[in-house]
């Protein structure tokens, strides 16, 4: 039974056109996730890119991934990611036990995070694992033009807030059997906490891309 990585990469981004093939550093955005998967070949047996775009397909093949052509009916803006994962599993003949989801819009990942996360996932026999980070902001709601604090009291210091966490999108591990039931995060899932600047990167706009470029140049390619 294999462990595979799946990288879903549509071609129809509206807010940042062709974002998955824009160059971050000197390589396409998509390639960062492929190379990360290849660097973890002790865990990952095969790497698949799911796409509806010919240019993305070409780049994926150039960087050594296998490509599954994604049908048009599951390539829309509102289609959940699990549809692409399920389609990959339905198209391949391998018996797959674990699926590692690597989103190309989260291209920067701490070097050893997959090794640590997969060890916990296997040792504790979770059915899924996903990465989270702590949020330190003060949230509130605006009701009838009045600001109502949500996770704090007016005057409270941010360091004294009750811990809240967000799903940062860096990494997901799940049983293939869950995906066939249209689930990525199961009931027996482990939230793997990451305290790292890379967890703040999720590219959807030009501003997001510029921020990722800044962090890449500062932390991964400081001599550029």
CATH code for position 79: 3.90.550.10
Query: Residue 151 falls within a domain, yes or no?
Result: no
Alpha helices in 92-129 (DSSP H): 113-123
Mean pLDDT (the chain) is 95
**125 dihedral zone (left: phi>0; alpha: psi -120 to 50; beta):** left
CB–CB of 217/224 below 8 Å? yes
Query: Residue 190 falls within a domain, yes or no?
Result: yes
What is the DSSP secondary-structure string of 189-205?
A: EEEEE--SGGGG---SS
Query: Residue 49 falls within a domain, yes or no?
Result: yes
For 194-216, letters b (16+ CB in 10 Å) and e give bebebbebbbeeeebbeebbebb
In the chain, the percentage of residues whose pLDDT exceeds 90 is 85
> Which residues span the domain enclosing 77?
2-132+167-220
Query: Residue 187 falls within a domain, yes or no?
Result: yes
pLDDT of 161 reads: 86
As a whole number of angstroms, the distance between CA 168 and CA 85 comes to: 19
Query: Residue 71 falls within a domain, yes or no?
Result: yes
Q: Is the pLDDT of residue 223 over 70?
A: no
Query: Residue 13 falls within a domain, yes or no?
Result: yes
Number of independent structural domains in the chain = 1
Q: In what order do the strands lie in the sheet with 96-101?
A: 66-69, 46-51, 2-8, 96-101, 164-175, 128-135, 189-193
As a whole number of angstroms, the distance between CA 165 and CA 12 comes to: 30
Pairing of strands 2-8, 46-51: parallel
Query: Residue 155 falls within a domain, yes or no?
Result: no
Assigned token pair, 117: 């996360």
pLDDT, tens only, 147-203: 999 999 988 888 888 889 999 999 999 999 999 999 999 999 999 999 999 999 999
């Amino acid at each position: 039974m294999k462990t595979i990585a799946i990288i879903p990469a549509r071609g129809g981004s509206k807010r940042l056109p062709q974002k998955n093939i824009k160059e971050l550093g000197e390589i396409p955005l998509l390639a960062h996730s492929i190379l990360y998967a290849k660097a973890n070949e002790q865990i990952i047996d095969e790497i698949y890119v799911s796409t509806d775009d010919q240019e993305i397909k070409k780049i994926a093949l150039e960087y050594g991934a296998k490509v599954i052509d994604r049908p048009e009916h599951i390539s829309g803006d509102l289609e959940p990611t699990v549809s692409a994962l399920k389609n990959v599993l339905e198209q391949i003949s391998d018996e797959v036990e674990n699926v590692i989801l690597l989103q190309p819009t989260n291209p920067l990942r701490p070097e050893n995070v997959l090794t640590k996360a997969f060890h916990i996932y296997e040792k504790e026999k979770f059915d899924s694992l996903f990465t989270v980070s702590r949020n330190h902001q003060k949230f509130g709601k605006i009701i009838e033009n009045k600001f109502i604090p949500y996770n704090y009291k007016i005057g409270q210091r941010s360091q004294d807030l009750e811990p809240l966490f967000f799903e940062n999108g860096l990494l997901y591990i799940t049983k293939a059997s869950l995906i066939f039931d249209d689930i990525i995060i199961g009931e027996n899932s482990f939230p793997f906490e990451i305290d790292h600047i890379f967890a703040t990167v999720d590219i959807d706009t030009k501003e997001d891309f510029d921020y990722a470029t800044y962090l890449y140049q500062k932390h991964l390619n400081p001599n550029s």
